Amino acid sequence: MRNRVVTDSAPEYSPAVTFHALADPTRLAVLDLLRSAPRAVGHIASAFPISRPAISKHLRQLQKARLVVPSRRGRHHFYQLNAAPLEALDLWLERYRMFWAHNLTNLKFFVEQEHARETGEIAGNTRGNTPAKTRSKHK
């Protein structure tokens, strides 16, 4: 019996693998095609101006990322969208959404404070107070 280390912290779906699979426009288009229903490889290939072997390579990459699930019906191979890796990626991205939401809120507060301070100075200057730079040196 072999010793294996099992960790609970290992993600079920790797964001790196998912991002790699999504990095290609053809693979994104294949996923869009599969959103509505499972499709036969021939149907998928006919939707693109590239060869069937090239589509098969893209499908293997999507399968490696577990974004598609293959099945077979007779002689025909079908692929179906598996949205679970996309949902896991969305959960992973949520941490960054929270980070940016917090930082953008802080930025908004800062900009509003600066704007209020500057408009307060300008309003103060319109009441007859002139800055020292604009006063005449000749009296």
Between 103 and 25, residue with greater pLDDT: 25
Are 80 and 69 in contact by the 8 Å Cβ rule? The answer is yes
Residue corresponding to tokens 């079908």: 78
Q: For position 12, what pLDDT does the model report?
A: 78
Residue 132 DSSP SS3: helix
Q: For position 28, what pLDDT does the model report?
A: 96
The set of residues, in sequence order, having a beta carbon less than 8 Å from that of 33 and lying 6+ positions away, is 39, 44, 47
Cα separation, 133 vs 32, in Å, equals 63
Strand order in the sheet with 39-40: 39-40, 76-81, 68-73
Q: For position 37, what pLDDT does the model report?
A: 95
Asked if residue 133 has pLDDT above 70, the reply is no
The set of residues, in sequence order, having a beta carbon less than 8 Å from that of 78 and lying 6+ positions away, is 38, 39, 40, 41, 70, 71, 72
Q: Where does the pLDDT of residue 3 fall: very low under 50, low under 70, confident under 90, or very high at 90 and above?
A: low
Q: Tokens at residue 84, please? A: 């679970």
77 membership: H or E segment, kind and range: strand 76-81
Q: What is the mean pLDDT of residues 118-138?
A: 56
Cα separation, 45 vs 57, in Å, equals 11
Tens of pLDDT, residues 36-75: 999 999 999 999 999 999 999 999 999 999 999 999 999 9
Q: What is the mean pLDDT of residues 106-132?
A: 72
Tens of pLDDT, residues 78-95: 999 999 999 988 988 888
- Which residue type does 50 have? I
- Whole-model pTM: value is 0.64
